Structure 1
Amino acid sequence: MAVASLGSLAFGAALFVVLIAAFEGGRRTGLRRASEEAAREGGGVIIGSMLGLLGFVLALTLSYASARFEERRQGTLAEANAIGTAWLRAMAVGHPKGPEIAAQIREYADLRLAFVQAEARSPELAEINRRTATLQTGIWRNLTVITQERTDAVAGYLMASLNEAFDRATASRFGFALGVPPQILLLITSMPTIALAALGFHLGLRRDTERLLPAVLSLMLTAVVTLVLDLGAPRFGDLRPSARAYEWTIGGFAPGPGGPPTQAPR
């Protein structure tokens, strides 16, 4: 998503300028036509309807963006817990490959932490994903050695936990790859612009010189639209899923056979 490279502050400033410009353009057009047309009371009803529809659309998109943010947050928490469980079972499997897998899981957890913390369009993302895939292959290769020698439940549990950790990584990557759909972005940026232009035109017809309240309205709309993008688009602004669950899991890894990692709260 190209808009993600702007950042929330730059996008918000640009949108605010656009809204003010739309209002001023509409107001000046209304002033030029004020001598030709009397101010119509019906215009206020239309403006009110437009602003009401705008508020409804923004409420829907804010709900959508909040749900997407919560999905990413829950995904990171579930992945961190899955990694911790896999480490525990690798240490408890009772096979020479177990500690080797546990060491690989520690490195794997560091990669997943780096993935969540990476900036939008960072060149490191491709390298992180490549190293993640390589490490998954190495972990699974060591697991194959264990399962070929043992068919007990403990080895099966280790396989299940590693499979879940890898599946969670794929789900997390998918969640971070999806931003706000372009159609929604166009809708929530064009509707406020049109509404402010119409409001300016209506006030121009009435020869109303009020500028403070339209500026406040523009600021409020900018804040809501920016918040929608911040919640809905991963790596856009400062509102991101916390990586603390990964940090807790990594911090709980013991240097030796003992000391299980502290599981992040579910």
Structure 2
Amino acid sequence: MQSTLLTLALWNVWAFTGVLFVIGGTLFVAGYFSGRRRMSAGNEPTEGAKLVSGAILALTAFVLALTLSFATNRMQERRDEGKEEANAIGTAWLQAKAIGGPEAERIAVLFEDYIVLRRDSLLLDADSPEIAVVAAKVGDLQTRIWAEQTTLIRTRPDPSVVSLMNAVNHAFDMTTAQRLAVNNQMPPQLTYLLLGLVFAGIFVVGLQLGFVGRSHIVLSVVLIALWTYVVVLILDFGNSRAGVFRTSTAAYDMTIAGFGPPQN
């Protein structure tokens, strides 16, 4: 189910939103007419039914708040890790430039290519075959950078070169941390729980209005639209490679700009 939702969201997030809204509207109508049939049959709603309905709506509100917090934290984590990675790469580049020499200059040039690849990798969709290609290129650049660093530390084992080695290692560590943060998507179980409770809540609202005998069309449509928007927002925040809210590349762009124009 989650794969189908992800595919639809990648194709068109507004189509995905529309599908959720239609499902919610259908469940509301089903709940409303179910309530009307029960009233027509002389089955008055009991206090127990009202209590259960209230409990479902309360649980729905709790899960909405929980998942929104989870998804927001994941998005903020990706932003923070991205900023740390960009800063770490920039620091390693500056140290390599300051040290000078053939190996250090090659390290700086390789980091210029490295950060561009890291930035571009964040813009790829979840189903893009380029993810594996870019990951392989990043791994190759890490190997080449470390080879230059190894040569440099063996020929010049002074404190400045040791500091550069630590900066390079930190940049690689931050890359790993950012990749883990990007791949840390919302668990499918949480997605199923969110959708299940929201749809159950919409059905319950329709059922209760059916008992009353007034559908309140405008208010009901607004309620379904708001719930749909919140659900889409949560799923968007929780998935870095689908939807509108992708991982920010602003820190990478600023670091790249700080490198200055390419040197021939």
Indicate whether 1:16 and 2:21 are aligned: yes
Aligned positions of 1:243-258 closer than 5 A:
243-254=249-260
Q: Are the counterparts in 2 of residues 4 and 233 from structure 1 also a CA contact under 8 Å?
A: no
Q: Does 1:75 align with 2:81?
A: yes
Residue of structure 2 in register with 1:50 after alignment: 56
Q: Which moved more, 1:73-82 or 1:60-69?
A: 60-69
Aligned to 1:263: none
Quick one: which of 1, 26, 33 aligns to 2:31? 26
Aligned residue in 2 for 1:226: 232
Deviates more, 1:221-230 or 1:43-52: 43-52
Correspondence 1:142 to 2:144? no
Instruction: Report the Cα offset of residue 247 of structure 1.
Output: 0.9
| 1:52 to 1:253, Cα distance in 2 relative to 1, 3 A | same
Tell me the residue number matched to 1:167.
173
Q: In structure 1, which of residues 93, 98, 102 is the aligned counterpart of residue 99 of structure 2?
A: 93
Q: State how far apart, in whole Å, the 1-side matches of 2:61 and 2:75 are.
A: 21
Q: Can you give the 5+ residue segments of structure 2 that lack an aligned partner in the other structure?
A: none
Query: Deviations along 1:8-52, whole A, 9 cap, x unmatched?
Result: 323221111111111111222222222223432624443333222
What is the distance in 2 between the residues matched to 1:254 and 1:227? 37
Q: Tell me, in whole angstroms, the C-alpha distance in 2 between the residues paired with 1:196 and 1:256.
A: 57
Report SS of the residue matched to 1:238: coil
Q: Is the 8 A contact 1:95 1:146 kept in 2?
A: no
> Does the CA contact (< 8 Å) of 1:72 and 1:176 recur in 2?
yes
Cα distance, 1:56 vs structure 2: 1.5
**TM-score (norm: length of structure 2):** 0.91
Aligned mates of 2:202, 2:100 — CA distance in 1: 68
Unaligned runs of 5+ in 1: 258-266
Contact 2:38 2:44 in 1 (8 A): no
For the 8 Å contact 1:82–1:165, the answer to whether it is kept is: yes
Shift of the 197–255 alpha-carbon distance from structure 1 to 2, 3 Å rule, reads: closer
Is the CA contact 2:89–2:168 (under 8 Å) kept in the aligned structure 1?
Answer: yes
> Deviation of residue 175 (structure 1)?
1.0
2:111 corresponds to 1:105? yes
TM-score by length of 1: 0.90
Which residue number in structure 1 is paired with residue 69 of structure 2? Answer: 63
Report the count of equivalent residues. Answer: 257
Q: CA RMSD in A?
A: 1.8
Letter in 1 for 2:7: S
Take 2:186 and 2:178, find their aligned partners in 1: how far apart are those partners?
16
Matched to 1:20, the amino acid is G
Letter in 2 for 1:132: V
**1:256 CA drift (Å):** 7.9
Higher helix share: 2
2:204 — aligned with what?
198
More displaced 10-residue stretch of structure 1: 201-210 or 100-109 = 201-210
